Structure 1
Amino acid sequence: MRAKIQSKLGKAFSTKLADAVDSFTCTRKKLTGSNPATGEDTYTEYVYSGRGVLFGSWEKDLVRPYDYLASDAKAVLLRNEVLSDGAEIEPQVNDEWLINSEYYRVVSYGSDPSKSVWTVQLRRV
């Protein structure tokens, strides 16, 4: 079921919904080491990207995130297109996305029962 949903949505993103689809990139830094003597921290960077319907509105939904603001946007992403070095990656809270030269922060995210799409709450930084 997951493959069929993603195939149909991927095709729609490329054709019928192409005008509503945007791309994003994210560089996530994860602390991997710290040296208190020198005050230097070591980070590993994860770069991931994807595409989806990025500026949906929560206002029309009956169920809203608990920390919802009227200016927040909703992104619906194909899970198989959110990739880092060719592998699927899960968005994380506080990731900063670059979309059309503007930065957005991930406030919350979740998946549908078939694990086909991510629904992400975005807030302009």
Structure 2
Amino acid sequence: MGLRDDLQRDLAEAFDTDLADAVNPVVGVRKVQGEYDPDSGTTPETITNYAGRGVFGKYLAKEIDGSLIQATDEKLTILQNELFITLLGESTETLAIPEIGDVIGDKRAMNVSQDPAKATWTVQLRK
């Protein structure tokens, strides 16, 4: 086992115990416009849903610059190995990768990053 596996196992355990009261379900939606279809006169849309669990928090005052990070933005930390694409409400074995523009809850993802060990996603959310 590598560092990432150890870290993900420890974080999952913390999500189950010490952080259990702060952990929330995470449901994300990504809508992507397809190519224009001249035969039907429509532009089909592909929708990808994903789900996992994470911890919502606020940004520190020193991180808020009023432009890139606003006072009302939320910081969401998600376990990478628990974020799966869902089809018809059922999780698949395919890991999801959040992207800028995705909608999580009623907020839009403004920025997405991962920690150096690639164990968690950090998503900046804005209403």
**Which segments of structure 1 move beyond 4 Å, counting only runs of 4 or more?**
62-66
**How far does residue 8 in structure 1 lie from its aligned partner after superposition?**
0.6
1:8-27 residue CA offsets vs partner (Å, 9 max, x unmatched): 10011011101011112122
Q: Name the structure where strand makes up a greater proportion of residues.
A: 1
Task: Please say if residues 94 and 105 of structure 1, whose CA atoms lie closer than 8 Å, have aligned partners that are also in contact.
Answer: yes
Task: Please say if residues 22 and 53 of structure 1, whose CA atoms lie closer than 8 Å, have aligned partners that are also in contact.
Answer: yes
The letter of the residue matching 1:113 is: P
1:18 corresponds, among 20, 24, 36, to 20
Residue 123 (structure 1) aligned with residue 126 (structure 2)? yes
TM-score by length of 1: 0.84
Specify every segment of 5 or more residues in structure 1 that has no aligned partner in the other structure, as ranges: none
TM-score by length of 2: 0.83
Question: Matched residue of 2:35: which SS?
Answer: strand
* RMSD of aligned alpha carbons: 1.8
Task: Please say if residues 52 and 75 of structure 1, whose CA atoms lie closer than 8 Å, have aligned partners that are also in contact.
Answer: yes
Question: Matched residue of 1:40: which SS?
Answer: coil
Specify every segment of 5 or more residues in structure 2 that has no aligned partner in the other structure, as ranges: 86-91
**How far does residue 86 in structure 1 lie from its aligned partner after superposition?**
2.1
Task: Please say if residues 29 and 43 of structure 1, whose CA atoms lie closer than 8 Å, have aligned partners that are also in contact.
Answer: yes
User: 1: CA distance between counterparts of 2:120 and 2:31?
Assistant: 24
Task: Please say if residues 59 and 70 of structure 1, whose CA atoms lie closer than 8 Å, have aligned partners that are also in contact.
Answer: no
1:52 corresponds, among 31, 51, 54, to 54
**How far does residue 44 in structure 1 lie from its aligned partner after superposition?**
2.1
Aligned residue pairs, count:
118
The farther-off stretch of 2-11 and 85-94 is 85-94
The aligned counterpart of 1:78 is: 79
The aligned counterpart of 1:29 is: 31
The aligned counterpart of 1:110 is: 113
The aligned counterpart of 1:89 is: 96
The alignment-based identity, stated in percent, is: 34
User: 2: CA distance between counterparts of 1:58 and 1:90?
Assistant: 22
Question: Matched residue of 2:117: which SS?
Answer: coil
Question: Matched residue of 2:68: which SS?
Answer: coil
